[in-house]
Amino acid sequence: MRERPLIDWLRRRIRLAANVHLGPGDDAAVLAAPAAGSRLVITTDVFLEGTHFAAATAPGPLGHKVMAASISDIAAMGCFPSASFVTLAINHSCGEAFVRELGEAIIATAEKYHAPLAGGDVASWPSPLAVSVTVTGETRGLEPVRRSGAQPGDKIFVTGLLGGSLLGRHLRAEPRLEEGVFLNRDVGVSAMIDISDGLSTDLGHLAEESGVGAVIRETAIPVSEDARKLEGQDGVPAVRHALDDGEDFELLFTVSPERAGRLKKSWKFDLAVTEIGEGGGSEVLLERADGARQRVEPGGYEHKWGE
Ligand SMILES: [Mg+2]
Protein backbone atom coordinates (compact mmCIF):
# COMPACT_ATOMS: atom_id res chain seq x y z
CA MET A 1 0.00 0.00 0.00
CA ARG A 2 1.36 3.42 -0.95
CA GLU A 3 0.49 6.25 1.39
CA ARG A 4 0.61 9.24 -0.96
CA PRO A 5 -2.26 8.31 -3.32
CA LEU A 6 -4.36 7.43 -0.31
CA ILE A 7 -3.77 10.77 1.35
CA ASP A 8 -4.54 12.57 -1.94
CA TRP A 9 -7.77 10.60 -2.20
CA LEU A 10 -8.73 11.45 1.38
CA ARG A 11 -8.07 15.14 0.73
CA ARG A 12 -10.33 15.13 -2.32
CA ARG A 13 -13.00 13.15 -0.49
CA ILE A 14 -13.27 15.38 2.58
CA ARG A 15 -15.78 18.22 2.53
CA LEU A 16 -14.53 20.96 4.78
CA ALA A 17 -16.94 22.25 7.40
CA ALA A 18 -17.38 26.01 7.94
CA ASN A 19 -15.44 25.91 11.21
CA VAL A 20 -12.41 24.28 9.51
CA HIS A 21 -10.41 27.11 7.91
CA LEU A 22 -7.61 24.84 6.76
CA GLY A 23 -8.05 21.08 6.48
CA PRO A 24 -5.80 18.17 5.53
CA GLY A 25 -2.83 18.91 3.26
CA ASP A 26 -0.82 21.51 5.13
CA ASP A 27 1.47 21.11 8.11
CA ALA A 28 -1.40 21.69 10.49
CA ALA A 29 -5.15 22.26 10.43
CA VAL A 30 -6.66 25.64 11.31
CA LEU A 31 -10.03 25.73 13.05
CA ALA A 32 -12.25 28.61 14.11
CA ALA A 33 -12.00 29.20 17.85
CA PRO A 34 -15.24 28.60 19.78
CA ALA A 35 -17.39 31.73 20.06
CA ALA A 36 -17.16 33.85 23.21
CA GLY A 37 -18.57 31.97 26.19
CA SER A 38 -17.82 28.63 24.59
CA ARG A 39 -14.90 26.41 25.49
CA LEU A 40 -13.08 23.65 23.66
CA VAL A 41 -13.73 20.00 24.63
CA ILE A 42 -11.25 17.38 23.42
CA THR A 43 -11.32 13.60 23.65
CA THR A 44 -8.87 11.07 22.24
CA ASP A 45 -9.13 7.28 21.88
CA VAL A 46 -6.99 4.52 20.43
CA PHE A 47 -8.39 1.36 18.82
CA LEU A 48 -6.02 -1.58 18.36
CA GLU A 49 -6.62 -4.66 16.24
CA GLY A 50 -6.68 -7.72 18.48
CA THR A 51 -7.41 -5.65 21.59
CA HIS A 52 -10.33 -3.34 20.76
CA PHE A 53 -11.58 -4.98 17.58
CA ALA A 54 -11.18 -8.36 15.90
CA ALA A 55 -8.86 -8.70 12.92
CA ALA A 56 -11.82 -9.91 10.84
CA THR A 57 -13.89 -6.75 11.40
CA ALA A 58 -15.07 -5.35 8.06
CA PRO A 59 -13.67 -1.87 7.28
CA GLY A 60 -17.03 -0.11 6.92
CA PRO A 61 -18.46 -1.08 10.33
CA LEU A 62 -15.03 -0.57 11.90
CA GLY A 63 -14.75 2.99 10.57
CA HIS A 64 -18.22 3.76 11.86
CA LYS A 65 -17.50 2.25 15.26
CA VAL A 66 -14.27 4.10 16.01
CA MET A 67 -15.93 7.43 15.17
CA ALA A 68 -19.20 6.70 16.98
CA ALA A 69 -17.36 5.52 20.10
CA SER A 70 -15.17 8.63 20.14
CA ILE A 71 -18.02 11.08 19.49
CA SER A 72 -19.97 9.32 22.26
CA ASP A 73 -17.47 10.80 24.74
CA ILE A 74 -18.52 14.32 23.67
CA ALA A 75 -22.18 13.26 24.14
CA ALA A 76 -21.29 12.06 27.64
CA MET A 77 -20.00 15.55 28.47
CA GLY A 78 -23.34 17.02 27.32
CA CYS A 79 -21.49 19.09 24.72
CA PHE A 80 -21.44 19.67 20.95
CA PRO A 81 -18.90 17.96 18.62
CA SER A 82 -17.11 20.23 16.15
CA ALA A 83 -14.32 18.34 14.31
CA SER A 84 -12.28 15.16 14.32
CA PHE A 85 -8.74 13.98 13.57
CA VAL A 86 -7.88 10.39 12.70
CA THR A 87 -4.53 8.66 12.44
CA LEU A 88 -4.26 5.24 10.83
CA ALA A 89 -1.28 2.90 11.28
CA ILE A 90 -1.93 0.28 8.61
CA ASN A 91 -0.17 -3.04 8.17
CA HIS A 92 2.06 -3.15 5.06
CA SER A 93 0.05 -6.02 3.56
CA CYS A 94 -3.32 -4.30 3.94
CA GLY A 95 -5.05 -3.67 0.60
CA GLU A 96 -5.92 -0.21 -0.62
CA ALA A 97 -9.61 -1.15 -1.03
CA PHE A 98 -9.81 -1.94 2.70
CA VAL A 99 -8.27 1.38 3.65
CA ARG A 100 -10.52 3.35 1.30
CA GLU A 101 -13.60 1.67 2.70
CA LEU A 102 -12.37 2.37 6.23
CA GLY A 103 -11.73 6.00 5.27
CA GLU A 104 -15.17 6.36 3.65
CA ALA A 105 -16.89 5.10 6.80
CA ILE A 106 -14.80 7.35 9.06
CA ILE A 107 -15.60 10.41 6.95
CA ALA A 108 -19.32 9.57 6.65
CA THR A 109 -19.84 8.94 10.37
CA ALA A 110 -17.80 12.02 11.31
CA GLU A 111 -20.04 14.15 9.06
CA LYS A 112 -23.24 12.50 10.25
CA TYR A 113 -22.49 13.35 13.86
CA HIS A 114 -21.23 16.90 13.26
CA ALA A 115 -17.54 16.14 13.83
CA PRO A 116 -16.24 16.51 10.24
CA LEU A 117 -12.75 15.17 9.63
CA ALA A 118 -10.27 18.06 9.72
CA GLY A 119 -6.96 16.21 9.63
CA GLY A 120 -4.91 13.22 10.62
CA ASP A 121 -2.17 10.99 9.31
CA VAL A 122 -1.75 7.69 7.51
CA ALA A 123 1.32 5.46 7.76
CA SER A 124 2.01 1.80 7.11
CA TRP A 125 3.98 -0.47 9.41
CA PRO A 126 4.62 -4.19 10.06
CA SER A 127 2.15 -4.41 12.98
CA PRO A 128 -1.66 -4.84 13.05
CA LEU A 129 -4.06 -1.96 12.35
CA ALA A 130 -4.13 0.85 14.90
CA VAL A 131 -6.54 3.78 14.74
CA SER A 132 -6.24 6.92 16.83
CA VAL A 133 -9.24 9.27 16.94
CA THR A 134 -9.39 12.77 18.41
CA VAL A 135 -12.72 14.58 18.52
CA THR A 136 -13.08 18.25 19.41
CA GLY A 137 -16.26 19.77 20.75
CA GLU A 138 -17.62 23.01 22.16
CA THR A 139 -19.50 23.87 25.32
CA ARG A 140 -21.55 26.69 23.68
CA GLY A 141 -22.47 28.27 26.97
CA LEU A 142 -23.12 24.99 28.78
CA GLU A 143 -21.15 23.56 31.67
CA PRO A 144 -19.68 20.16 30.69
CA VAL A 145 -21.20 17.31 32.72
CA ARG A 146 -18.48 15.54 34.68
CA ARG A 147 -18.37 12.08 36.20
CA SER A 148 -17.80 13.57 39.63
CA GLY A 149 -21.05 15.43 40.37
CA ALA A 150 -23.30 12.65 41.75
CA GLN A 151 -24.81 13.33 45.20
CA PRO A 152 -26.33 10.93 47.76
CA GLY A 153 -30.04 10.65 46.97
CA ASP A 154 -29.60 11.39 43.26
CA LYS A 155 -31.54 9.08 40.96
CA ILE A 156 -29.52 6.94 38.54
CA PHE A 157 -30.76 6.60 34.96
CA VAL A 158 -29.61 4.95 31.78
CA THR A 159 -30.67 5.47 28.15
CA GLY A 160 -31.53 2.66 25.76
CA LEU A 161 -31.26 -1.10 26.34
CA LEU A 162 -28.11 -2.82 27.56
CA GLY A 163 -26.15 -5.99 26.89
CA GLY A 164 -25.30 -8.29 24.00
CA SER A 165 -23.80 -5.56 21.81
CA LEU A 166 -21.26 -8.13 20.60
CA LEU A 167 -23.99 -9.65 18.43
CA GLY A 168 -23.52 -6.61 16.18
CA ARG A 169 -24.92 -3.53 17.90
CA HIS A 170 -21.42 -2.37 18.92
CA LEU A 171 -20.62 -1.88 15.23
CA ARG A 172 -23.78 0.20 14.72
CA ALA A 173 -23.43 2.35 17.85
CA GLU A 174 -25.08 5.77 17.79
CA PRO A 175 -23.61 8.50 19.97
CA ARG A 176 -26.45 9.99 22.07
CA LEU A 177 -25.63 13.58 21.18
CA GLU A 178 -29.07 15.20 21.27
CA GLU A 179 -29.95 13.32 24.42
CA GLY A 180 -26.66 14.36 26.06
CA VAL A 181 -27.21 18.05 25.36
CA PHE A 182 -30.86 17.79 26.47
CA LEU A 183 -29.84 16.13 29.75
CA ASN A 184 -27.24 18.82 30.32
CA ARG A 185 -29.17 21.93 29.23
CA ASP A 186 -32.84 21.09 29.85
CA VAL A 187 -32.65 18.68 32.79
CA GLY A 188 -29.46 19.63 34.59
CA VAL A 189 -28.05 16.19 35.39
CA SER A 190 -25.39 16.01 38.09
CA ALA A 191 -22.99 13.44 36.58
CA MET A 192 -22.76 11.50 33.33
CA ILE A 193 -20.64 8.87 31.56
CA ASP A 194 -21.16 6.82 28.40
CA ILE A 195 -21.24 3.05 28.77
CA SER A 196 -18.20 1.72 26.95
CA ASP A 197 -16.80 -0.80 29.44
CA GLY A 198 -20.16 -2.02 30.77
CA LEU A 199 -22.73 -0.70 33.27
CA SER A 200 -21.01 -2.39 36.24
CA THR A 201 -17.61 -0.88 35.40
CA ASP A 202 -18.78 2.55 34.26
CA LEU A 203 -21.12 2.98 37.26
CA GLY A 204 -18.05 2.18 39.36
CA HIS A 205 -16.12 4.96 37.58
CA LEU A 206 -18.93 7.44 38.17
CA ALA A 207 -19.33 6.46 41.84
CA GLU A 208 -15.59 6.61 42.46
CA GLU A 209 -15.18 10.03 40.82
CA SER A 210 -18.18 11.35 42.75
CA GLY A 211 -17.08 9.82 46.05
CA VAL A 212 -20.51 8.28 46.64
CA GLY A 213 -21.88 4.74 46.50
CA ALA A 214 -24.98 3.56 44.68
CA VAL A 215 -27.74 0.96 44.77
CA ILE A 216 -29.14 -0.28 41.48
CA ARG A 217 -32.13 -2.62 41.20
CA GLU A 218 -31.57 -5.72 39.12
CA THR A 219 -35.20 -5.83 37.98
CA ALA A 220 -35.01 -2.23 36.72
CA ILE A 221 -32.05 -2.69 34.39
CA PRO A 222 -33.25 -2.36 30.79
CA VAL A 223 -32.09 -5.59 29.15
CA SER A 224 -31.75 -5.77 25.36
CA GLU A 225 -33.15 -8.50 23.15
CA ASP A 226 -29.53 -9.33 22.20
CA ALA A 227 -28.66 -9.94 25.86
CA ARG A 228 -31.55 -12.46 26.07
CA LYS A 229 -30.36 -14.10 22.86
CA LEU A 230 -26.86 -14.44 24.35
CA GLU A 231 -28.32 -15.98 27.52
CA GLY A 232 -29.87 -18.65 25.28
CA GLN A 233 -26.44 -19.33 23.80
CA ASP A 234 -24.08 -19.17 26.78
CA GLY A 235 -26.37 -19.59 29.80
CA VAL A 236 -25.13 -16.34 31.36
CA PRO A 237 -28.20 -14.45 32.65
CA ALA A 238 -29.28 -11.63 30.32
CA VAL A 239 -29.07 -9.10 33.16
CA ARG A 240 -25.43 -10.11 33.68
CA HIS A 241 -24.79 -9.34 30.01
CA ALA A 242 -26.55 -5.98 30.50
CA LEU A 243 -24.25 -5.26 33.47
CA ASP A 244 -20.97 -6.43 32.02
CA ASP A 245 -20.87 -6.62 28.22
CA GLY A 246 -20.15 -2.96 27.45
CA GLU A 247 -19.90 -1.12 24.15
CA ASP A 248 -23.56 -0.08 24.49
CA PHE A 249 -22.55 3.58 24.15
CA GLU A 250 -25.67 4.55 26.09
CA LEU A 251 -25.63 7.38 28.65
CA LEU A 252 -25.49 6.60 32.37
CA PHE A 253 -26.28 9.64 34.52
CA THR A 254 -27.44 10.89 37.91
CA VAL A 255 -29.99 13.59 38.62
CA SER A 256 -31.53 15.10 41.75
CA PRO A 257 -34.98 13.69 42.75
CA GLU A 258 -36.72 16.99 41.80
CA ARG A 259 -35.08 17.09 38.40
CA ALA A 260 -35.76 13.38 37.87
CA GLY A 261 -39.46 14.26 37.86
CA ARG A 262 -38.84 16.98 35.30
CA LEU A 263 -36.81 14.55 33.21
CA LYS A 264 -39.61 11.94 33.09
CA LYS A 265 -42.16 14.58 32.04
CA SER A 266 -40.04 16.27 29.41
CA TRP A 267 -38.16 13.33 27.83
CA LYS A 268 -38.93 13.73 24.12
CA PHE A 269 -36.86 11.01 22.47
CA ASP A 270 -37.92 7.60 21.11
CA LEU A 271 -34.99 6.13 23.01
CA ALA A 272 -35.89 4.57 26.37
CA VAL A 273 -34.73 6.29 29.54
CA THR A 274 -34.91 4.15 32.68
CA GLU A 275 -34.42 4.84 36.38
CA ILE A 276 -32.30 2.01 37.76
CA GLY A 277 -31.38 3.12 41.27
CA GLU A 278 -29.99 5.88 43.42
CA GLY A 279 -26.81 7.26 44.84
CA GLY A 280 -25.86 6.82 48.51
CA GLY A 281 -23.71 4.86 50.91
CA SER A 282 -20.12 4.06 50.14
CA GLU A 283 -20.42 0.91 48.02
CA VAL A 284 -21.90 0.15 44.62
CA LEU A 285 -24.62 -2.43 45.28
CA LEU A 286 -27.01 -4.50 43.20
CA GLU A 287 -30.41 -5.18 44.80
CA ARG A 288 -31.82 -8.52 43.65
CA ALA A 289 -35.54 -9.19 43.12
CA ASP A 290 -35.74 -10.76 46.63
CA GLY A 291 -34.25 -7.63 48.22
CA ALA A 292 -30.83 -9.14 48.87
CA ARG A 293 -27.96 -6.79 48.09
CA GLN A 294 -24.55 -7.66 46.71
CA ARG A 295 -21.52 -5.64 45.70
CA VAL A 296 -21.33 -4.81 42.01
CA GLU A 297 -17.94 -6.01 40.90
CA PRO A 298 -16.72 -4.30 37.75
CA GLY A 299 -17.25 -7.11 35.26
CA GLY A 300 -16.96 -5.02 32.17
CA TYR A 301 -14.22 -5.16 29.66
CA GLU A 302 -11.08 -3.48 30.90
CA HIS A 303 -7.87 -3.63 29.01
CA LYS A 304 -5.01 -4.53 31.28
CA TRP A 305 -1.35 -3.99 30.65
CA GLY A 306 0.43 -7.09 29.49
CA GLU A 307 -2.65 -8.86 28.13
MG1 LIG B 1 -16.42 7.57 27.72
pLDDT band (50, 70, 90) for residue 307: very low
Instruction: Tell me, yes or no, whether 190 and 287 share the same domain.
Output: yes
Q: How far apart are the first and last CA of the chain?
A: 30
Tell me how far the alpha carbon of residue 12 is from its chain's centroid: 29
Instruction: Tell me, yes or no, whether 267 and 160 share the same domain.
Output: yes
DSSP states of 141-180: TPPPPPTT---TT-EEEEES-BS-GGGTGGGG----HHHH
Instruction: Tell me, yes or no, whether 93 and 33 share the same domain.
Output: yes
Spacing, Cα 196 to ligand 1 middle (Å): 6
User: What whole-number distance in Å separates Cα of residue 215 and Cα of residue 286?
Assistant: 6
Chain segment 39-71, per-residue pLDDT in tens: 999 999 999 999 999 999 999 999 999 999 999
Chain segment 203-241, per-residue pLDDT in tens: 999 999 999 999 999 999 999 999 999 999 999 999 999
Chain segment 85-100, per-residue pLDDT in tens: 999 999 999 998 999 9
Spacing, Cα 150 to ligand 1 middle (Å): 16
Chain segment 107-139, per-residue pLDDT in tens: 999 999 999 999 999 999 999 999 999 999 999
Instruction: Tell me, yes or no, whether 195 and 263 share the same domain.
Output: yes
Residue numbers of the domain that contains 23: 3-138
Predicted confidence (pLDDT) at residue 16 exceeds the cutoff of 90: no
User: What whole-number distance in Å separates Cα of residue 198 and Cα of residue 120?
Assistant: 30
Look up residue 34 and give its DSSP letter: P
Q: Which of 158, 184, 210, 174 is nearest to 79 (CA)?
A: 184
| Residue type, position 53, single letter | F
Q: Do residues 87 and 135 touch, judged by C-beta distance below 8 A? A: no
To the nearest whole percent, how much of the chain has pLDDT over 70? Answer: 97
Final residue of a structural domain among 80, 104, 138: 138
Spacing, Cα 95 to ligand 1 middle (Å): 31
Instruction: Tell me, yes or no, whether 202 and 122 share the same domain.
Output: no
Whether this model's pTM surpasses 0.85? yes
To the nearest whole percent, how much of the chain has pLDDT over 90? Answer: 88
Instruction: Tell me, yes or no, whether 219 and 129 share the same domain.
Output: no
Work out the angle at residue 244's Cα, subtended by the Cα atoms of residues 78 and 112, and round it to the nearest 5 degrees: 40
Asked if residue 304 belongs to a domain, the reply is no
Look up residue 271 and give its DSSP letter: S
Predicted confidence (pLDDT) at residue 15 exceeds the cutoff of 90: no
User: What whole-number distance in Å separates Cα of residue 122 and Cα of residue 131?
Assistant: 10
Predicted confidence (pLDDT) at residue 160 exceeds the cutoff of 60: yes
Look up residue 25 and give its DSSP letter: T
Predicted confidence (pLDDT) at residue 11 exceeds the cutoff of 90: no
Instruction: Tell me, yes or no, whether 208 and 271 share the same domain.
Output: yes
What mean pLDDT, rounded, does the chain reach?
Answer: 94
Spacing, Cα 194 to ligand 1 middle (Å): 5
Spacing, Cα 126 to ligand 1 middle (Å): 30
CATH of the domain at 15: 3.30.1330.10
